[in-house]
């Protein structure tokens, strides 16, 4: 599969081969993956319960992959919380405790198939820890750039995996700038730019549909920073819809915090003051894919929601007291889902990351 994949620019339509070491087009545009996709439900019987089971719809097949940390299919747990029924997709149980492992698994396999020996990544923590772990297993050197205020558990995980950890003063944007500079000489394995990353993340949608007996849910609430989760989930449901596997597209609702809401601001036309937020995973001030995110959400008849710090903390406490150890970023989307005022049908909220990397911080918040 990998060798037949084409990367095409969404702006100028230039094409590249999968083996080419490119993460964006020469014109600066985003690259998309093109290949013959399929979905044969009969073939899934007997396959391992990991995301490579959907290989007819993946740019790298199970046989082609060189590196794996297991990538288990994660549970879809139905919970009744405060009178609402929510399906929680437990992405916190991934190898390094976040959904980012899906994207890293695909992106670092692509890097290895391309013969890349060093990568650069910037992150608010989870993506850095994930890329560092996959690179460690693949024997690829990783240089990770994070804001200096990142949660200690995430920083420790990055260092323990043997990656070069670069703590950058300032906000998340400064880390992105530093990584881009370092990428002049190295491959930029960016969870925001690399099309193979979204390719991995889309498997969340495949699993949700399979867990609901090949039916799409009605509504999904997603925390949005750089948008790799939302765009991956959108891509997954869209491909299943186009292949006739599901009969409708769920409504995808995007959640940002009141302290950092550039996409909400753009969408609503409101100017909002930037403030610190406990939801560090979505504290992204300049998401490069802003226009794509708005287009995806609107095409599903979804909306953008703002959530305040107190609401995040309340939802965090509610979920942790159910025994599910989530991080504050996940609680942002749970909060909006719990406060939805009408029947939204089957509602899914991905629990994007584990709170185990930030237990000290959680104790302070609750």
Binding site for Zn ion (CB under 5 A): 9, 11-12, 14, 25, 27, 29
Alpha helices in the chain (DSSP H): 41-44, 100-113, 126-138, 152-160, 172-182, 195-201, 203-211, 228-242, 262-268, 290-299, 309-320, 328-339, 359-365
Question: In the chain, how long is the greatest CA-to-CA distance?
Answer: 54
Q: How far is the CB of 16 from Zn ion (least distance, A)?
A: 10
Q: For the CB of residue 23, give the shortest distance to Zn ion in the complex, in Å.
A: 12
Q: How far is the CB of 31 from Zn ion (least distance, A)?
A: 8
Query: CA 308 from chain center: how many Å?
Result: 22
Which of 31, 57 has the CB closer to Zn ion?
31
Closest by CA to 350, choosing from 123, 176, 114, 101, is 101
**Shortest distance, position 195 Cβ to Zn ion, whole Å:** 13
Q: Which residue's CB is nearer to Zn ion, number 27 or number 356? A: 27
Closest contact distance (angstroms) between CB of 192 and Zn ion is 17
Please tell me the distance from the alpha carbon of residue 73 to that of residue 52, in angstroms, as a whole number.
9
Pick the closer one to Zn ion by CB: 22 or 140. 22
- For residue 272, give both structure tokens: 């909002």
Q: Toward Zn ion, which CB reaches closer, 32 or 64?
A: 32
Contacts of 357 (CB under 8 A, 6+ apart): 97, 125, 126, 129, 151, 153, 154, 157, 327
Which CB, 7 or 204, lies closer to Zn ion?
A: 7
């Amino acid at each position: 599969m990998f060798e037949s994949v084409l990367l095409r620019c969404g702006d100028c339509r230039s094409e590249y081969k999968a083996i080419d070491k490119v993460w964006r087009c020469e014109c600066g545009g985003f690259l998309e993956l093109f290949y013959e996709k399929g979905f044969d439900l009969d073939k899934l019987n007997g396959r391992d319960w990991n995301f490579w089971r959907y290989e007819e719809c993946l740019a790298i097949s199970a046989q082609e992959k060189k590196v794996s940390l297991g990538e288990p299919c994660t549970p879809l747990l139905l919970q009744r919380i405060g009178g609402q029924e929510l399906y929680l997709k437990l992405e916190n149980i991934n190898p390094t405790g976040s959904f980012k492992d899906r994207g890293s698994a695909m992106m670092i396999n692509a890097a290895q198939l391309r013969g890349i020996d060093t990568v650069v990544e910037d992150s608010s923590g989870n993506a850095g820890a994930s890329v560092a772990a996959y690179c460690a297993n693949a024997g690829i050197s990783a240089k990770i750039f994070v804001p200096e205020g990142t949660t200690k558990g995430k920083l420790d995980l990055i260092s323990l995996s043997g990656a070069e950890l670069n703590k950058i003063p300032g906000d998340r944007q400064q880390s992105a700038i530093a990584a881009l500079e370092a990428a002049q000489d190295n491959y930029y394995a960016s969870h925001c730019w690399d099309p193979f990353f979204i390719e991995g993340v889309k498997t969340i949608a495949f699993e949700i549909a399979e867990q609901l007996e090949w039916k799409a849910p009605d509504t999904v609430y997603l925390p949005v920073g750089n948008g790799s989760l939302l765009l991956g989930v959108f891509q997954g449901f869209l491909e299943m819809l186009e292949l006739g596997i599901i009969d409708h597209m769920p409504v995808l609702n995007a959640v940002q915090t009141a302290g950092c809401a550039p996409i909400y601001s753009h969408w609503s036309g409101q100017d909002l003051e930037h403030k610190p937020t406990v939801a560090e995973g979505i504290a992204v001030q300049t998401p490069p894919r802003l226009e794509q995110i708005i287009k995806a959400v609107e095409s599903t008849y979804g909306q953008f929601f703002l959530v305040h710090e107190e609401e995040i903390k309340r939802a965090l406490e509610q979920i942790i007291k159910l025994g599910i150890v989530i991080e504050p970023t996940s609680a942002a989307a749970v909060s909006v889902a719990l406060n939805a005022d009408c029947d939204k049908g089957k509602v899914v909220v991905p629990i994007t990351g584990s709170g185990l990397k930030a237990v000290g911080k959680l104790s302070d918040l609750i």
